[in-house]
Amino acid sequence: MLTRVWSRGFADAIKKKPQVVLKDGPSLQDFVSSASVAEAVEKYEGKLKLEKGDRRLRLPPWLKKEKILPSENENVSRLKKQLKHLKLATVCQEARCPNLGECWGGSEDSIATATIMLMGDTCTRGCKFCSVKTARTPSPLDPLEPENTSTAVASWGVEYIVLTSVDRDDLPDGGADHLRKTVQLMKLKKPELLIECLLPDFAGDKISIEKLATSGLDVYAHNIETVERLTPWVRDPRAQYRQSLDVLRYAKEVSPRLITKTSIMLGLGESDDEIKACLADLRSSNVDVVTFGQYMQPTKRHLLVKEWVTPEKFDEWAEYSKKLGFLYVASGPLVRSSYKAGEFYLKNGKRWVCRTEQSSLTERTTFLVGEKVVIVRAEEITISGNFHRSKLKYMSFLRKRCNINPARGAFHYRAPGKIFWRTVRGMLPHKTIRGNEALKNLRAYEGVPAKYQKTKTLNAPSASRFRLQPRRKFCLVGRLSHEVGWQYQDVVAKLEAKRKVKGAAYYEQKKKLDKLAVQAKVNAAPKIAKYQKIIESLGYN
């Protein structure tokens, strides 16, 4: 009888419980009816800041996302099997990243990406926001890890890889030699691979920092994590705010052409003024890329979330950071330091002329770090997607008029080279001095101008239309330009045909001259043999 009464009372409590919860958080209908993030934020009636007496904040709707299971995606399942077989750890799994399924699964617009964690899965530091295992004396380093990691990554066929590591204060150099060897082996087995390393502070040791900065990596990343006031409370006592700034500054000094990157977590109780001061410190340390993400409590043992930062606030921080002169800013509630890192990378390359035949508008912009880039055959640039949709979008752009006097609309270019230039301008902070100077390093032409016809060119296989999915629709910028008013398509085609004929004749003549030069050396060899011996005896070749 007592059991029946207790069960009935428990059932009544369950029926009444949702009415209490609804006061502090959204109902299921709120999630279903929200068509966009902005609408979800507007409808959300829960608390955004932790107040005195609250145990924890409820998860807002814009942070809820569908989890991709291994059985639902081949890439996720395949990567997990390969990593397990090679005994490699990933920060995606150890840190319980919310984007694991999205990054590992990939999509039509992005390649599958995983962040490899080196030197084991146990850290010597205990930061209060991180769920990676900690120990004073982790297991020794695996001497085969650099070879296994480089072999695995080379076989994946990826273009961009992120390497990170735990802190190893138990090692004299913090594991710098181990990490350097891994990077060098990767570059040896796949020279075109772009490598980002998310590295510890090495306790401020400049020798260790220099080893990695000069190892051949492309992006040197070290996370500042939070503002200066909260650093002692959030991070391990051995991790200091000023020390992290010095690490990033010294890496840039050692290798000026290196891209430096850092990340900031929001929602730990920081103020806007403190974030602005932190960004100013980063810019003074010559940091190139910064990312913002929402702190999410991994387990009950870790720090509580003090505030849910709205997507609109993240957008504001992105705009503010771009005005300060950062080369790239990634800002969003679910953005993490390694989230789709390849899409945020700004390539630091050599001077070259880029032949854009069958390339895409997402070609890497080396001029952002002071390098000059010349784009030729801009009419052959590929735009992924349906042609008619691209045309409608550009036509709506052409119809923009001045609000005060509609007859005075802005002048919009229609030539392929100018369209490409205008597109790249939109990717840069061109209203700042640094962005404006970077834009001056870009030149785009239809066809190949005479002064560049004998210049060595570079095709970009990574941006080729053959990288698109089978049967994926695409169009050329030349066709789009012609449809919206560009009238020189036939002229450029005729000039290109003549150039190819002249170029073929030139290189045919060059081959003959090269053969004659080789034959002349062979014929002269017996006559100069005795002089050659005298030269060699003196130590010259």
**Region 497-525: what's the mean pLDDT?**
89
**Signed CA dihedral, 316, 321, 323, 327: sign only:** negative
Least confident of 65-74, 100-109, 302-311, 391-400: 65-74
3-state secondary structure of 194: strand
Note the pLDDT of residue 461: 61
Average pLDDT, the chain: 77
Confidence class for position 263, pLDDT limits 50, 70, 90: very high
The whole-angstrom separation of Cα 225 and Cα 202 is 16
**Region 140-157: what's the mean pLDDT?**
85
> Quick check: 224 pLDDT over 60?
yes
> Quick check: 251 pLDDT over 90?
yes
Least confident of 205-209, 313-317, 445-449, 467-471: 467-471
**Region 524-534: what's the mean pLDDT?**
87
Confidence class for position 479, pLDDT limits 50, 70, 90: very high
Alpha helices in 399-541 (DSSP H): 416-427, 433-439, 477-483, 489-524, 529-537
Least confident of 427-431, 499-503, 510-514: 427-431
Where do the domains of the chain lie?
A: 39-348, 364-486, 491-540
> Quick check: 452 pLDDT over 90?
no
The whole-angstrom separation of Cα 259 and Cα 289 is 8
| 208 vs 30, higher pLDDT | 208
CB 286 within 8 A of CB 252: yes
Minimal CA–CA distance to 348: which of 440, 252, 456, 452? 252
269-295 pLDDT, tens digit each: 899 999 999 999 999 999 989 999 989
Note the pLDDT of residue 47: 63
Note the pLDDT of residue 117: 83
Confidence class for position 183, pLDDT limits 50, 70, 90: very high
> Quick check: 101 pLDDT over 80?
no
**Region 107-127: what's the mean pLDDT?**
74
Confidence class for position 9, pLDDT limits 50, 70, 90: very low
Distances (CA, A) of 316 to 55, 102, 293, 526: 29, 25, 13, 76
Confidence class for position 25, pLDDT limits 50, 70, 90: very low
What's the start-to-end Cα distance of the chain, in Å?
Answer: 106
198 beta partners: 164, 221
Q: Percent of the chain beyond pLDDT 90?
A: 23
> Quick check: 360 pLDDT over 50?
no
Note the pLDDT of residue 365: 42
CB 187 within 8 A of CB 163: no
> Quick check: 30 pLDDT over 60?
no
Confidence class for position 241, pLDDT limits 50, 70, 90: very high
> Quick check: 354 pLDDT over 50?
no
E strands present in 58-100 = 89-90
Which residues does 182 contact at the CB level (< 8 Å), separation at least 6?
118, 145, 146, 149, 150, 163
CB 206 within 8 A of CB 184: no
Confidence class for position 110, pLDDT limits 50, 70, 90: low
The whole-angstrom separation of Cα 447 and Cα 310 is 47
3-state secondary structure of 477: helix
Residue with the two structure tokens 């004073």: 136
> Quick check: 202 pLDDT over 90?
yes
- Equal CATH topology for 39-348 and 364-486: no
CB 295 within 8 A of CB 266: yes
Note the pLDDT of residue 96: 62
Residue with the two structure tokens 């050692």: 254
> Quick check: 126 pLDDT over 80?
yes
Reading the block at residue 506, the tokens are: 């030139």
Reading the block at residue 391, the tokens are: 């045309």
**Region 359-379: what's the mean pLDDT?**
60
| CATH for the 39-348 domain, from 3.40.50.1370, 3.40.50.450, 1.10.274.10, 3.80.30.20 | 3.80.30.20
> What distance lies between CA 20 and its chain's CA centroid?
44
**Region 317-339: what's the mean pLDDT?**
84
Task: Burial-class residue 419 by CB neighbours within 10 Å (0-12, 13-18, 19+).
Answer: buried
**Region 212-228: what's the mean pLDDT?**
91
Cut 0.75: pTM above it: no
| CATH for the 364-486 domain, from 3.40.50.300, 3.20.20.80, 3.40.50.1700, 3.90.1180.10 | 3.90.1180.10
